[in-house]
Structures are given as C-alpha cells and as structure tokens.
C-alpha cells in the first residue's frame, strides 16, 4: 500500500505523543548513553530525528518499508548522525548490536509479529532496550465501521478478493509473557488518549493517514470518493463534531523491555 506523508503529518502532535511517552521510559531505571539507536517503522522521520536531541552522541537510524515516507524523512529530517533507509523490518538486520531499538505504531501491520519479537530482541545488546507501542483500538467504530463498509454488498465484490493488510495486536499481558520468556525485564502499560481533533470530518482525516490507507490504495479515484463518502457518514454518527472539536478515544499498548542476557 502507498502511504501519504503529508496526510499522516496533519496530526503530527497527536500521533507523536505516544512515542514520546514510550521513549520516556527507556533508561528510566538509570540514564544510558547509547551509541546506536534504531527506529523501525520510522515513517516521515520527525520523531526519529528527535532522538538525536536526547542522545546527541549516538548513531540514529530510521527504517521504513514505505519509499514515500523515507523520501519525506530524508527531505525534512536528515542531519548529522541521523540516516534513513527503506527496509522491511521482517528482513532487516543491523550491522552491530543495537543499544536502543524502537518501533512506534508499526508491528500491528506485521502478521505474526509475536514470533518476530525473538529475532528483534536478538539484535539488542545485553543491557540494551527494546521499546514498542501499538494501537489497541480495533474494536472501536473507526475500525468496525470500516470493516462494515468493506464487507457490504456494494464493496465486497470489489475488495473481498484482495489481500489487503489487516492490522492486529495482542493484549498487553501476552507481550509481557513473551518478552519475559526472551530474557527481558518488562515494563508494560496501556493508555487511552482522548484526542481532540480539529476541523470537519476530523476522524476521517485521521484514518486517511493510517487505517484507511489499504482501502484507498486498492481503489481508483471514483471508487475512493464513493467509499469515503459512505465511511464518513458512519464516522460522523459515531464521533459527532462538537464546538471544540471531535473527540477520538485512542487506546495504545506500550512495552519497554531491557535485555538482561
């Protein structure tokens, strides 16, 4: 699927807060001085570049499977000590042990990512950190209404036969078990943010940057307009616009693990 960096960055502050909250817990048991930090699924790179401010002496690497995202990252966020490259995290491997490995709102797009965690932990240096966060809101109307439209009589013949990406995650306790089995000390939690989004059809615009991307990538322009109109009507009913904006409850699952062996 094709990503749209400009659309994704429309809500850059709201999208960035979970990453900041995640990384705030890295090294919280005692300050660290990493030499090599990697952000898997770095998107447009604005959050990755911020890691250089915290660890100015480290080599910072951002990796993303989207050529569009990496092009934007290189355009806007390249700086000394920070580099970006296109890569699939399922096949990616570092050239040396990683002191801090981060993955922000990415693993939900990787089928079987629970099994992939062992490989990723193996890249972390002993005493290093692996931090990731994923959405936990797939039972919310943003996703249930999207599924309802996709499987409706109008769209099932068009989309039903396509192998579109289906994001999915586990519950927090499952990640705690898995990371503990892999020899990590684990700090896990969940938070539901109440994002107040400005403008008309704000939740639709939010979804255009993330969960709606697979559908939009599979349709032509006329089909996109028709699908979006139907989906937007459902979202307006589920998330009414108020005088101060539209409230989007957004549950996130956080895992910060320190490799002990």
pLDDT at 29 over 70: no
pLDDT value of residue 30: 55
Residues 58 and 99: beta-carbon distance below 8 Å: yes
Question: Position of tokens 């000590």?
Answer: 81
Kindly report the pTM of this predicted structure: 0.94
CA distance 149 to 140: 14
pLDDT value of residue 164: 83
Q: Quote the CATH superfamily of domain 5-259.
A: Vaccinia Virus protein VP39 (3.40.50.150)
> What mean pLDDT do residues 220-236 have?
97
> What mean pLDDT do residues 87-106 have?
96
3-state secondary structure 8-41: HHHHHHHHHHHHHHHHHCCCCCCCCCCCEEEEEC
Beta bridge partners of 133: 104, 254
Question: Position of tokens 């048991």?
Answer: 29
Beta bridge partners of 193: 250
Which residues neighbour 192 within 8 Å (Cβ) at sequence distance 6 or greater? 249, 250, 251, 252
Question: Position of tokens 């969960």?
Answer: 211
> What mean pLDDT do residues 134-149 have?
96
pLDDT value of residue 261: 74
Domain boundaries, the chain: 5-259
pLDDT value of residue 23: 96
165-181 pLDDT, tens digit per residue, is 889 999 999 999 999 99
22: nearest Cα among 257, 255, 259, 260: 255
- Percent of the chain surpassing pLDDT 90: 91
CA distance 109 to 111: 6
> What mean pLDDT do residues 15-27 have?
95
Q: Write the DSSP string, the chain.
A: ----HHHHGGGHHHHHHHHHHHHHTTTTTS----SEEEEET-TTSHHHHHHHHH-TTSEEEEEES-HHHHHHHHHHH-BTTEEEEE--TTT---SS-EEEEEEES-GGGSTTHHHHHHHHHHTEEEEEEEEEEEE--TTSHHHHHHHHHHTSTTTHHHHTTS---------HHHHHHHHHHTTEEEEEEEEEEEEEE-STTHHHHHHHTTTTHHHHHHS-HHHHHHHHHHHHHHHHHHS--BTTBEEEEEEEEEEEEEE--
């Amino acid at each position: 699927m094709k990503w749209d960096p400009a659309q994704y960055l429309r809500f850059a502050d709201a999208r960035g807060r979970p990453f900041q909250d995640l990384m705030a817990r890295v090294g919280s048991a005692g300050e660290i001085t990493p030499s090599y930090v990697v952000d898997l699924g770095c998107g447009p790179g604005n959050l990755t570049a911020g890691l250089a401010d915290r660890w100015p002496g480290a080599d910072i690497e951002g990796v993303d499977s989207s050529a569009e995202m990496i092009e934007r990252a290189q355009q806007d966020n390249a700086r000394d000590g920070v580099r970006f490259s296109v890569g699939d995290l399922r096949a990616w491997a570092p050239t040396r042990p990683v002191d801090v490995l981060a993955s922000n709102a990415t693993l939900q797009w990787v089928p079987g990512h629970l099994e992939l965690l062992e490989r990723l932990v193996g890249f972390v240096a002993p005493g290093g950190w692996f931090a990731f966060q994923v959405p936990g809101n797939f039972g919310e109307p943003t996703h249930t209404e999207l599924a309802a439209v996709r499987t409706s009589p109008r769209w099932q013949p068009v989309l039903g036969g396509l192998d579109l990406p289906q994001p999915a995650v586990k519950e927090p306790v499952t990640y705690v078990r898995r990371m503990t089995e892999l020899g990590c000390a684990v700090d896990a939690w969940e938070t539901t943010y109440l994002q107040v989004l400005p403008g008309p059809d704000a939740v639709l615009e939010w979804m255009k940057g993330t969960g709606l991307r697979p559908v939009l990538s599979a349709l032509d322009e006329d089909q996109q307009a028709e699908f979006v109109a139907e989906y937007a009507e459902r979202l307006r009913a589920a998330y009414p616009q108020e005088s101060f904006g539209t409230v989007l409850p957004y549950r996130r699952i956080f895992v910060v693990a320190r490799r002990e062996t």
